[in-house]
A and B are shown apart, each in its own frame.
Chain A
């Protein structure tokens, strides 16, 4: 198959691709880091049967002019953001995508954010490096108490051990997982390995889907009321917008932590700020915000019981490997006459 690749492609899979693509060309974002212009793309697609893209805009015009095109593979999780699915479907072109390519990156970031806030990891690193609160101090030792003690820092009641320690372990606690898609599953798997009991809220799954993490499907109120750690991992839809409302936040335990690596509109951030400010919940890890970048001077920046990161949860160098592995599997399934799991328009292969 004559093939054009404009996606970032992991070269470990090159031999596999060559077995499919006899006439192979790399160009565009994956080579130059800049999206190809529409007219260049139309030209490059002459005679091309297989297109593997990532960020290029595969518009209706591009699809209609690509006479030979048989398969579109978009290496994004959200192929609809780059490919005109409707136009492809009209021409009977299957659009495959890299479902869950960033699931591992987001899951690791999610768990680490919860640990950073509940164990004061990010806060104490900041205090050590950029303030003299923890270094420019001495502790009295009149009785020679610490003569034999190697870990001086941990002994004094005013020392960080007493002041910034004392957070909860995850082991043995209850983890509330909201949303059980690609990312939710990966987060839940890790929470389970950490020895937590899982409560899961997702109206689209069945009890047997959560058996591998020994999870229990519950309603949202129960999850909010009983969990010690809560993670939100669902898409923004009319159903999920504002799902974690003020009423829901008010159900949380005063010792509970919340992490959001999904999207801000799912949570009432005003209500979340109030709960954090008034210490009605223990803390939060937030990677997404109502306005990005966060406006300078925003009140959320002043919270000490909150760890903020600037929308980084999906930012990992390893994603190229994941997306290539996923799309190669989808492509081989399709070419082998099978039914790929990650296809935007399954109706075109049913026909």
Chain B
């Protein structure tokens, strides 16, 4: 039997690419080859005769899907396949697969690191040192020292003693509240519980028994915002979650609490969050996503010491492509053997078959 023809424009790592090549007749192109997105016409040309398409960033529109009658399976290696026209897939009876949780470890770890970096003033004091502050007199040979037992940076003037100026607090014993308990929330909860934090979560799609089995308090949105020391957004962008967090929710936060968003800017009302930060009604924030990216150069967030900002890199670990490659190799093996998919996005397609 001939191998199915498979077109790949996503980044697929070894040893999974070789595994897929054993199962399929593979053509690699587009983003995977040139780091440039293909147009509709280029895609249609590349997909001629293809049965399986593995995509990451290209726009797979209804026109592309209609123009490729041989397509039987589309796999998008993303946690949310926003670039593929779901309805067009379903109309053609094509299962659209995705890779949920491929970046869950990356984002979960990033949240832990960025949260502590903010409350312990790691990023801030690092910047101060790089900028030449809190330093001593220049010395010819810094390795020529007599070691003291009780080394201190400076104890003479409390105003310039970094031990006092940058004194923070611990996450141990504090409460972490999650909006959304998906793949990232699950990874994150385990790490934070080991660090001695209490976890509460609001997720209308997860039964409270499941949360409680994981040692997490099932809560309402109001409870998460009013009782947490850290509130973190961990849901996808959907019609339901756009603007989900507004002035009412943020006004419930404790003045000592921190807001964390590594999901998407549009989930949070920009003015509501900015007002709370500017009026110091909350203690600070960790933000990796914004309402406009790149962030405008005059954005007030860029002036705030109590906000840690990073340029949308929480999910950028080098291990993410390995995770999604593992998942798609598994799905192709299932497809070749005639087994049903495990990571089906357009579940409604099953009803039609």
Check B120 against A292 for contact (C-beta < 8 Å).
no
Q: Which of B114, B122, B193, B295 contacts A309 (CB 8 A)?
A: B122
A137 to B292, CA, bound (A): 13
Within 8 Å CB of A350, what residues of B? none
Q: B145 on the interface (CB 8 Å rule)?
A: yes
Q: Kindly state whether residue B190 has any CB partner on chain A within 8 Å.
A: yes
Chain B residue at smallest Cβ distance from A306: B126
The answer to whether A129 touches B153, judged by C-beta atoms less than 8 angstroms apart, is: no
B293 interface contact, C-beta 8 A: yes
* Separation of A125 and B114 alpha carbons in the complex (Å): 10
Q: Contacts A132-B297, A193-B195, A318-B169 known; A108 to B116 CB distance under 8 Å?
A: yes
A122 to B124, CA, bound (A): 8
B172 A121 Cβ-Cβ under 8 A: no
Please tell me which stretch of A16-24, A60-68, A109-117, A338-346 contacts chain B, meaning at least 4 of its Cβ atoms lie within 8 angstroms of it. Answer: A109-117
Q: A112-B120, A170-B109, A190-B194 are in contact. List 19 more A-B contacts (CB 8 A).
A: A104-B196, A109-B116, A113-B122, A115-B114, A116-B113, A119-B113, A119-B313, A125-B310, A129-B302, A151-B289, A165-B316, A169-B317, A193-B194, A293-B135, A295-B139, A308-B125, A310-B163, A312-B163, A315-B163
Interface residues on A, range: 35 or more
Residue A336, interface by CB 8 Å: no
A148, B83: Cβ atoms closer than 8 Å: yes
Is B46 an interface position by the 8 A CB rule?
no
Q: Does B265 touch A at the CB level, under 8 Å?
A: yes
In the complex, which residues of chain A have a beta carbon less than 8 angstroms from the beta carbon of B151?
263-264, 288, 292, 311
Taking a contact as CB atoms closer than 8 A, the residue among B113, B131, B289 that contacts A121 in the complex is B113
The B interface is mostly helix, strand or loop, or mixed, namely: loop
Residue of A nearest to B320 (CB): A169
Q: Which residue from B83, B114, B166, B303 sits with its C-beta under 8 Å from A312?
A: B166
- Chain A residue numbers with a CB within 8 Å of B83 are 148-149
By the criterion CB–CB under 8 Å, are A151 and B264 in contact? Answer: yes
The answer to whether the Cβ of A265 comes within 8 Å of any Cβ in the partner chain is yes
Name which residue of chain B comes closest to A270, CB basis.
B143
Of the candidates A128, A152, A294, the one whose C-beta lies within 8 Å of that of B136 is A294
List the B side residues contacting A308 at CB < 8 Å: 125-126, 129-130
**Which residue in chain B gives the minimum CB-CB distance to A129?**
B302
Instruction: Sample 5 A-B pairs with CB under 8 A, ordered by A number.
Output: A126-B123, A135-B302, A298-B135, A310-B162, A318-B172
CB distance from B58 to the nearest CB of A (A): 9
